[in-house]
Structure 1
Amino acid sequence: MKLPTFLIIGVQKAGTTSIYNYLKQHPQIYMSPVKETNFLEKNWEELETKRKAKIDTFEKYCQLFEGVTDEIAIGEASPNYLFHYESSSERIKRYVPNAKLIAVLRNPVDRAYSDYLMHIRDAIDKGRRNSLSDQIKYRADKSFILLKGFYCQHLQHFYKEFDREQLQVYLYDDLSKDPVQFMRTMYQFVGVDDTFSPDVSKKAQVAQVPKNTAVNQMLRQENPLRTIVRAGLRVILPLEMRQTIRSRLIQMNSQDKKAAPLSPEERQQLIELYREDILKLQDLIQRDLSSWLK
């Protein structure tokens, strides 16, 4: 039975999709065909919900790695493992205790902004206060967008539960500066040929925001109008063509994230929110993070 020899445990909005694709390019690495399996995140077997995780049993998890042949390293990327550190560390120790752990950290201010834009793009939590300022003021202790940026406690727990040599921390800043060298250090860590140069010309998930929020919600969320239109089109168009039309309409209604910039006031609010954690984090990982406080 083949199981992961390494896991990308965090964090969301820190280039993990691009890294996943660069890892897949390496001939000595097998990556789970499903990114973000989330199997090791929680005890899915004990949860009784209407929308259970797709990979909700150990049997399904093992099936993801049945395609392994002669690859040296086997991996999967579920960047919420770090956030759900208590439950995920317990399950990692249960199922893949010797797996190498990779955490990619991004300036929490920029990470929160990127996550916020994703919520706008995907029409998530439309009924809640949307601005980051409001979230900092009213929901700082409840907003996942904000809470995911407090890395220090999460990492401390992993350092406590696993050998320090088993966990490697990388910075998104380094990925942005020199992606090839960044990936070579990661290749070395997971135990494959580190002279391999991935094609890093294509970046995944370029941030965009909708031009018209109402149109975006209509296209992305279930609603009476969308149900009626879908029912009518189902009679004359195949599923693939309907999905293509919807994707093109979403793209036509999209624009660069620069259209919704992070204001200087919001940036300063976020810096102050994360300041103490950043100072603790740089001591923990022995990296200068002063640029995150500017």
Structure 2
Amino acid sequence: MSVDYKNKIKPNFLIVGAAKAGTTSLAKYLDEHPDIFISKIKEPRFLIANTIKKTSKSDPSHNHLISTSVLNEDNYFSLFEKRTEKAIGEASVHYLYHNKEAIENTIKYLGPETKIIILLRDPVKRAVSNWKYQDKDFLYFSEALKEEESRKREGFNSFWYYKELGFYFNQVQAYYGNFKNVKVILFEDFVKNTSSIMNSLYEFLDVDTNFTNREFIKHNDSSLSIMPKSEYLKKLLNTQKKVNTFKKLINKKIIPKRLYLKKKELIYNQDIDFLKNIYKEDINKLQKLINQDLSNWL
């Protein structure tokens, strides 16, 4: 029996993405404010539950994605039980790309007055960061870009769509067209001017703007991102737990350097030039939509 969600305490704002654009750091910062609550489960993804359930078992992230997502009403609304904060929210980066389902369910379960926060990052840097962070992707960056369509057909979840996730215009426009309160933050501004950005968000969420956060801390850092050299190791490291163990052994200098490469060494100029070229038109359209200067992305 489903819950009567209309009478439940529920989020009145969402951080909807983009992936690898600072959403984890932003959520942690917002959660420091005494008038703001962020769900303790990172990225519930409930508002796109149908999409998550359709993820193919051939996706190496399938088990982790399913086990960490909140896929039914009872469990989702239990995340916010007895909360009394003025601003209550959650952050699920899949909501930006899968905006059709996310928007329909946001209106259905939370209401059209829900406030939407979107973080955007230079799409080229975002794509690179996404690939580096995807621990179980043992293809070179250029190869991974070529495999994107194949992975989509196989039913991989969208965190593998390094290239496509960076076409922001239609994604952002969808939220602009359905919600009155949408705030777009640029990752670059968030990092450089954290205090002023947080203050603007507190104003947007209608909470005390005198609150001061800690200094900016980068979360979800993908600095230790590795590529096993041998095909045997690639097959062996087939779960997140095994990959994490392998990386810990590298940090302890137990794994010799001859067995792996660092992903940052495997990004080539032609890959960057390719992405810069395909994003140009989308960036130009986006900066008009959000009325912000994106020339540094070009």
TM norm structure 2: 0.78
Change in CA separation of 1:266 and 1:33 when aligned onto 2, cut-off 3 Å = same
1:33 aligned onto 2:40: yes
- Partner amino acid, structure 1, of 2:104: E
CA distance in 2, matches of 1:167, 1:269: 31
**CA separation of 1:139/1:202 partners in 2, compared to 1, >3 Å: closer, same or farther?**
closer
Question: Does 2:139 align with 1:123?
Answer: no
Contact in 1 for aligned 2:9/2:82 (Cα 8 Å)? no
Superposition map of 1:6-85 within 5 A: 6-43=13-50, 52=66, 54-68=69-83, 70-85=84-99
Question: In the alignment, which residue of structure 1 is the partner of 2:288?
Answer: 283
- Per the alignment, residue 3 of structure 2 pairs with none
Q: Pick the aligned partner of 1:171 from 186, 189, 201.
A: 186
Per-residue deviation, 1:269: 0.9
Instruction: In structure 2, list runs of 5 or more residues that go unmatched.
Output: 1-7, 58-62, 153-159
Q: Which moved more, 1:179-188 or 1:211-220?
A: 211-220
Whole-Å Cα distance in 1 between the matches of residues 244 and 165 of structure 2? 33
Alignment partners' CA distance in 2, 1:90 and 1:193: 31
Shift of 1:49: 7.9
Q: Give the counterpart letter for 2:161 in structure 1.
A: F
- Give, in angstroms, the shift of residue 118 of structure 1: 1.2
Report if aligned partners of 2:24, 2:219 keep a CA contact under 8 Å in 1: yes
Residues 216 and 161 (structure 1 numbering): CA distance in 2 closer, same or farther, change over 3 Å?
A: farther
How far 1:114 moved relative to its partner?
0.3
Deviations 1:147-187 (A, max 9, x none): 10001011111222222xx1111100101111122111111
Shift of 1:247: 6.7
Aligned to 2:60: none
Maintained 8 Å contact 1:8/1:76: yes
Question: Does the CA contact (< 8 Å) of 1:30 and 1:74 recur in 2?
Answer: yes
Q: Deviations over 1:203-243 (max 9, x none)?
A: 212222126455974775249xx7xxxxxxxxxxxxxxxx9
- Residue in 2 aligned with 1:231? none
CA distance in 1, matches of 2:244, 2:268: 35
How many residues matched?
A: 266
Match of 1:210 in 2: 226
Structure 1 counterpart of 2:4: none
- Asked if 1:190 is matched to 2:205, the reply is yes
Aligned to 1:232: none
| Identity across the alignment (%) | 33
The code of the aligned residue for 2:172 comes to: L
- Assess, with a 3 A threshold, how the Cα gap between structure 1 residues 196 and 218 changes in structure 2: closer, same or farther: farther
Counterpart AA for 1:83:
Y
Is the 8 Å Cα contact of residues 49 and 71 (structure 2) preserved in structure 1?
Answer: no
Change (3 A) 1:186 1:139: same
CA shift, 1:263, in A, is 2.8
1:146 equivalent to 2:163? Answer yes
Which shifted more, 200-209 or 40-49? 40-49
Alpha-carbon distance in structure 2 between the residues aligned to 1:8 and 1:212: 34
Matched AA of 1:210:
I
- What does the per-residue CA deviation read over 1:109-166, in whole Å, with 9 as the maximum and x for residues that have no partner? 00001001112xx113x4xxx2333455564695611110001011111222222xx1
Out of 102, 107, 111, the residue aligned to residue 88 of structure 1 is 102
Q: Which of 266, 270, 276 does residue 271 from structure 1 map onto?
A: 276
Instruction: State the alpha-carbon separation in 2 of the partners of residues 25 and 84 from structure 1.
Output: 28
Residues 117 and 257, structure 1, Cα contact 8 Å, conserved in 2: no
Give the C-alpha shift of residue 48 in structure 1: 9.8
Return the letter of the residue paired with 1:86: K
**Contact 1:26/1:196 (8 A) holds in 2:** yes
2:177 match: secondary structure: helix
Say whether the 8 Å CA contact 1:140–1:146 is kept in structure 2: no
Deviation at 1:257, TM superposition (A): 6.7
| TM-score, normalised with respect to structure 1 | 0.79
